[in-house]
Chain A
Amino acid sequence: MLSALVLVGGGLYAGHRLESVWGLPPAVGGMVIVAALCLVRPQMAARAEPATNRLIGWMGLFFVPALVTVAQSWSVLGERWWTTVAALILSTPVGVVVSVTVYRSLQRLSGSGAGRGDPAVAGGPGGTGTRP
């Protein structure tokens, strides 16, 4: 718990400090720094993982206030709401299809399989962690 607190707190602080250098928002920059630290010191990741997983599991809760604000100001779109809804609904599946297809195609090109089934996790506890 303490190691997770230090890791996340330190990452967030470093993200704030480096924001003006690399232009990434502090939280995203902090995530990159934490990932880099965990790659260099895997035991640090192992110690922090139970607490960080719990925090990530509740991440949805932290979006609720922003979504409530949006729900109450939807009228700002006025008569363009249907264009917006159509754009949002159509573009998401297109993005998914393109990213998955490009990934699979490049995997095939590089000769490392069809991009299906991750050997590092397929046999691990809890299966492949799918059920999207």
Chain B
Amino acid sequence: MSIDLVTLHDGVLATVWTLFTLVVFGFFRFLERRRPSNLSRQAILATALVVAAVLWVLDTDSAGYDRHTSSLTWMLGPATVALGVPLARRLVATRQRLVPLLVAIVAGGAAAGGTAVGVAWLTNGPDALRIPLSAKSITTPIALAVTEPEGAAAGLVAGLVIVTGVLGAVLVPAVLRRLGATDPTEIGIAMGTTSHAIGTASLARHAPLAVGMSGLALAVNGAATSIWLPVVYTLASN
């Protein structure tokens, strides 16, 4: 019996990195339960920083880590689909407010993207930066599809989308507190519109009733932006 050593090596590394990520994430989730605070809630960010530090110490590139933990990334698909269940629950509870909801989501998404582009424009940021920023608040696959025809760098687009999600998970609760927003609908539309799936994931433990609305907001904002943003690009280039 012959053993393919390369496959075996890859399999071992995939198991080790996946388990390591799981253990570190589980540790931060444990901390989050023991000492809840806005920062300790960022288990995603804390885990990523620990893993990045370990990769740096071991002089391992992130592409290898990404390949070995592809099973974790793949699970994003089923988890996003699962958002459909709380989304249906929230739609039933808020069916009489659907028009205000949809308008608020589209307006919030346009304001977030427009402000980011405006800041880049005011500081003489190049098109190579403005285009990825315009799609920063929508979920990664849609952002890539919308910006790719404009020649945006896929890595930069994906990076900005992910950083936006992590920043949103930290900033949005503070802004909502300032606004006195306690309604799960308001929390959900604000988080899903500005921070897509990462923000939605951060709500799962602390505002479970807002999760469904956040799923609706990320879907509606993604779909609406994929329609109006190409029109804006065309108008801006003329």
User: Residues on A close to B: CB < 8 A?
Assistant: 4, 7-9, 11-12, 15, 23-28, 30-39, 42, 45, 48-49, 52-53, 55-74, 76-77, 80, 83-84, 86-100, 102-104, 106-107, 110, 112, 115-118, 120-121, 124, 126, 128-132
Contacts and interface: CB of A to CB of B under 8 A. Distances in A.
B204 interface: yes
16 contacts: A8-B78, A31-B87, A34-B85, A34-B88, A53-B85, A59-B80, A61-B22, A61-B25, A64-B48, A73-B62, A88-B167, A94-B111, A94-B115, A98-B112, A106-B103, A129-B208
Interface residues of B, number: 128
Contact of A60 (B25, B96, B222, B223): B25
A72 B77 contact: no
A130 B81 contact: no
B45 interface: yes
A15 B81 CA distance: 9
B179 A100 contact: yes
Contact of A68 (B43, B55, B70, B185): B55
Contact of B158 (A48, A66, A74, A124): A66
A65 B189 contact: no
Interface in B22-69: 22, 25, 43-45, 47-49, 51-52, 55-56, 61-63, 65-66, 69
A132 B84 contact: no
A109 to B, nearest CB: 8
